[in-house]
C-alpha cells in the first residue's frame, strides 16, 4: 500500500506540473486576448482538473486503508507524522520528498490561478468599459438588486460602431 501511495503522489506531482503549464499558457492567451486559444486551454484545464480529482480521491482511499490497517501509529495529524509509520526510512524519505514537491506545485498552481483570475476580470472590465463608451451608457460602480450593474443612462448600439 505504501508503494501505491508513492505512485499516486508521483502522478499528482506530474499532474500539477501539467496544470502549471496549462496555467502559463492560459496567462499568455489572456494577455494576448486569444479567445480561440483560451477555449482550447480551458478544455485542457478541465481534463487536467478531472485527472487531479481522481488522483486525490485515490490518495484519500489509500490513506484511509492505511489508517485502518493497524500499520500506522498516528491516524490524525500532519502528513509528516503519518509518513513516520512507513515500513522503511527510505520509503518515509521518498514520501516526505514527494509531499514537499506536491506542496510547492499546488502553491504555484494556486498562484497562477489567482493571477489568471485577475487578468480575466481586468479583461472583462475593459470590454465592459469600451461597450459602455460606445453606447454612451453610464454605469454606476455598484450592482442592482438582481446582481447586474446599475445603469443610469442606457443607450442601444446604433450600429455605427
Write out the chain's pLDDT in tens, 161 residues: 878 878 888 999 999 999 999 988 888 888 887 778 888 988 999 999 999 999 999 988 887 887 777 666 666 667 777 777 677 788 888 888 888 898 899 999 999 888 888 888 877 777 777 666 776 665 555 555 666 655 555 555 555 54
pLDDT for 153: 55
Q: Which residue has the cell 460606445?
A: 134
Please tell me the predicted confidence (pLDDT) of residue 120. 82
Residues 6+ apart with CB under 8 A from 65: 1
CATH fold of 2-153:
Methane Monooxygenase Hydroxylase; Chain G, domain 1 (1.20.58)
pLDDT at 156: 56
Check residue 55 and give its pLDDT: 92
pLDDT (0 to 100) of residue 143 = 56
Q: Where are the domains of the chain?
A: 2-153
To which H or E segment does residue 143 belong? Answer: strand 138-143
Distance from the first to the final alpha carbon of the chain:
65
Spatial contact of 50 and 58, defined as CB atoms under 8 Å apart: no
pLDDT at position 66 is 76
pLDDT of residue 96: 84
For residue 90, what are the contacts with CB-CB under 8 A and spacing of at least 6? none
Question: pTM for the whole thing?
Answer: 0.70
Amino acid at each position: 500500500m505504501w508503494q501505491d501511495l508513492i505512485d499516486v503522489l508521483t502522478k499528482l506531482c506530474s499532474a500539477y506540473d501539467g496544470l502549471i503549464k496549462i496555467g502559463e499558457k492560459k496567462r499568455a492567451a489572456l494577455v494576448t486576448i486569444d479567445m480561440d486559444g483560451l477555449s482550447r486551454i480551458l478544455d485542457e484545464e478541465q481534463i487536467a482538473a478531472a485527472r487531479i480529482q481522481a488522483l486525490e480521491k485515490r490518495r484519500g482511499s489509500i490513506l484511509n486503508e492505511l489508517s485502518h490497517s493497524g500499520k500506522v501509529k498516528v491516524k490524525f495529524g500532519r502528513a509528516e507524522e503519518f509518513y513516520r509509520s512507513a515500513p522503511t526510512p527510505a520509503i518515509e524519505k521518498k514520501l516526505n520528498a514527494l509531499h514537499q514537491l506536491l506542496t510547492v506545485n499546488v502553491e504555484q498552481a494556486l498562484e497562477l490561478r489567482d493571477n489568471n483570475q485577475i487578468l480575466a476580470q481586468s479583461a472583462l472590465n475593459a470590454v465592459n468599459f469600451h461597450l459602455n463608451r460606445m453606447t454612451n451608457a453610464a454605469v454606476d460602480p455598484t450592482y442592482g438588486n438582481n446582481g447586474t450593474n446599475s445603469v443610469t443612462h442606457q443607450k442601444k448600439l446604433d450600429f455605427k460602431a
